[in-house]
Amino acid sequence: MATLLQIAGVFGVLSLLAFGGGAAVLPDMQRQVVDVHHWITSREFLDMFALSRAIPPGSMIVVLIGQKTAGIAGALVALLAMFGPSSLLAFALGRLWHRAGAAAWRETLEQAMAPVSIGVTIASGIAIARSTEHDWATYAVTAATTLLLALTRLHPLAVMGGGALLLALVSS
Amino acid sequence: MATRSTQGPPSLATLFLSFLTIGSTSFGGGLLGWIRRELVERRGWIDDQQFLVFYGISQMVPGATNVNLSVIIGTQLRGIPGAFAAVAGLLLAPLAILLALGALYFAARNVPGSRLINAALIGAGAAAIGFNLATGIRLAHHNIRRIGPAVVAAAIIVGIGILRIPLLEVLLVMLPASLLVTLAERAR
């Protein structure tokens, strides 16, 4: 029980610090769970990061840390703690927005937010590609899928399957 | 710009199933693209402008952006129960898979063929980044009509994507800048 409370405490705080998404708090998380609480080793943290990286919606590494530390209950507590507090803030801000109704300032703000969100979407893609991709094959897959999915009606799963197959072939 | 959706709100079960689909298809990444594809293009529950506003709000609070986005869209469509239905649907499949993966990992560290699986995951991940980029390009094509907003979007792309300035700092500068651009265009 004490461990579950500690898990809730650690991830609950990280949840509120994760501006821009979970990647922002990964170093803090590693320090807390490896150095401060000794729940897992540094090697396990890296393995868990690799295992959870492809699992949506991000930050799912907390499930593995919780599971290793306190079983299924630990996993669920870690998940709730990581997503709960930030979700409450998102809910509150969304509500505030909804309450504004058809106010003129809201329409203006909405118009102003559109290009910002579009810019962030494209910029995030470029930033993630630059930090995770280091060879021509992965860059080529990203560039090709960007073009294919922007210009054609191909199903995203087919294109992503193609990318997976291509890199498996290149590596073997 | 697309008009606001005129359909009634979906049932909680439909909302849950929709997010279950999103969560189940977005392994490897591309979650933002899947959310827009399912909710804007396929279901028509929200339009592009709402999607962009909700995404913007999701960025302003801490936490996983796509979870925040699901909370806000769920609330918009079906109130607080809608938020729970959306997030539960989004997380169910990933959680189940990850617990199974975790159990496997704790049982045996070295899985045969893991190098090949890893390469395939990297390939799917690279393609998923392309999916998100393509979503951004589609959004730009549908929603940016004038030079002012185009400059705002371009500045953000350079700031975060090329110069690697932290998101929060870029938002603190570019949101007011975009507001000024919007007001200036209104005044004309």
Tens of pLDDT along A116-134? 989 988 998 898 888 777 7
What single-letter amino acid sits at B21? T
Residue B8 has pLDDT above 80, yes or no: no
Partner residue facing A54 (CB), from B27, B144, B158:
B27
Tokens of B40: 């804007």
Q: Is the pLDDT of residue B2 over 50?
A: no
The reply to whether A79 touches chain B by the CB within 8 Å rule is: yes
Yes or no, beta carbons of B129 and A129 under 8 Å apart: yes
Which residue from A107, A89, A81, A84 is spatially nearest to A4, judged by alpha carbons? A81
Rounded-to-10 torsion of CA B131, A59, A73, A46: 110
For residue range B87-109, list pLDDT tens digits in order: 999 999 999 999 998 888 777 65
Cα radius of gyration (chain B): 19
Give the sign of the dihedral formed by CA A18, CA A145, CA A152, CA B93: negative
More confident residue, A58 or A126: A126
Domain containing B45: what range?
Answer: 12-112
Q: Token digits for A65?
A: 């840390």
pLDDT above 70 (res B52): yes
For A46, A120, A124, B92, B112, the CA distances from A169, given in Å and listed in that order, are: 25, 33, 28, 32, 17
Query: Which residue from B130, B145, B156 is spatially nearest to B48, judged by alpha carbons?
Result: B145
Distance CA A19, CA B166 (A): 10
Which of A19-23, B3-7, B23-27 shows the highest mean pLDDT? B23-27
Q: What's the whole-number mean pLDDT along residues B150-155? A: 96
In a domain, B80, yes or no: yes
Total of domains in chain B: 1
pLDDT at res. B3? 44
Q: Which residues of B touch A68 (CB under 8 A)?
A: 102, 106
% of residues, chain B, pLDDT over 70: 93
Q: Decide if pLDDT at B23 tops 70.
A: yes
